[in-house]
Amino acid sequence: MEQKNHMLKYLQKGIRFDGRKLDQYRLINVEYGVSNSAEGSAIVNVGDTKIIVGVKLAVEKPFLDTADCGNLMVNAELTPMSSPDFEPGPPTETGIELARIVDRGIRESHAIDVHKLCIKEGEKVWSVAIDVCTLNAAGNLIDAAALGALAALKDARYPAYDLEKNAIDYGEKTDKKLPLECQPIAVTVWKIGDYLLVDPLPQEENAADARLTVTTIADGSVASLQKGGDCPLSVEEVDSMVGLAIEKAKELRKALG
């Protein structure tokens, strides 16, 4: 509580512990094609936070209720090497929530035309598996993971596939890209006291009362909203958070290159 009160005094002056403004991101860097074994991959740095994301493609049966659509799955691994707060073992609530937020942003924005992933209706479709892995957790994993997932999807190329033999040659990548229809960007706005900020440090995350992850596409349309934290948000606060997220998404979009 003492640290939070100290933090609020800084926020009242419009600055943070590391000198940034409330609406200022740390330096963002995106590096594509960092894995030879994945069909698409990227490393994203947001300040000292570093995340690697890989995309794997496989031919599988479609789900019964979507016989003409490909499958999409997102998994997040919070590795102990990236933070002393993470432990080995089964997925934690934090890891599950991270994967769900990334998945929802991609799914609700219809970023991938899943109908174009269909090979033979009811029998064979392409499955897109997105694996998020933390390398260094220094705050704002959600935005970094979502940006990394999008970058890895942009980088992905189909492996060679023989339809008659139903065989994939993962050693040979084609020039064919995934059918991306739009590029969803997630921005998480955090509330500490009466103040709203983006790209928090771990200390700021621990002091936060609530957060709202806003995923938007290039024209500013909102694809998904995901609230976190125990503190309720007023309609006015949600409106301010969405407006801030839409503006900051433009910066993250530029970082994709």
* DSSP output for the chain: -HHHHHHHHHHHTT--TTS--TT----EEEEE---SSSSEEEEEEETTEEEEEEEEEEEEPPPGGGTTS-EEEEEEE--GGG-TT--SSSPPHHHHHHHHHHHHHHHHTT-B-GGGGEEETTTEEEEEEEEEEEEE--S-HHHHHHHHHHHHHHH-EEEEEETTTTEEEEEEEEEEEP-B----EEEEEEEETTEEEES--HHHHHH-SEEEEEEE-TTS-EEEEEEESSS---HHHHHHHHHHHHHHHHHHHHHT-
Looking at residue 27, its pLDDT comes to 98
Query: Which of the following CATH numbers is that of domain 2-255: 3.30.230.70, 3.20.20.240, 3.30.750.24, 3.40.50.1820?
Result: 3.30.230.70
Looking at residue 10, its pLDDT comes to 84
pLDDT in tens, 204-245: 999 999 999 999 999 999 999 999 999 999 999 999 999 999
Looking at residue 171, its pLDDT comes to 93
pLDDT in tens, 128-157: 999 999 999 999 999 999 999 999 999 999
Q: Does pTM surpass 0.85?
A: yes
pLDDT beneath 70, residues of the chain: none
